[in-house]
Chains A and B, each alone.
Chain A
Amino acid sequence: MESLKIAATERSPEVDFDFKHGVLSLRGESYPEDASAVFGPIFEALERFLPTVGNREIRVDFDLTYFNSSSAKALMNMFQMLDNSAAGGARIVVSWFFAPDDDTMKEFGEDFSEDLEHVVFNLVAVESAA
Chain B
Amino acid sequence: MMSALAVPSADASAAPSAQAAKVVIEAVNVTKRFSESVIAVEGASFSVEKGSFVSLVGPSGCGKSTLLRLIAGLIPMTSGTLTVNGREVDAPRKDVGMMFQRPTLLEWRTAVENVLLPTEMTRKPTTDDKKRAIELLRMTGLKDFEFAFPRQLSGGMQQRVALARLLQTGAEILLLDEPFGALDEFTRERLNLELLRIVDEIRATTLFVTHNISEAIFLADRVMVMTPRPGRLAQIVDVPFRRPREISLLQSPEFNELVTEVRAILGAGA
The judgment on whether A and B are partners is no
Which residues of A pack against B, CB within 8 Å?
A: none
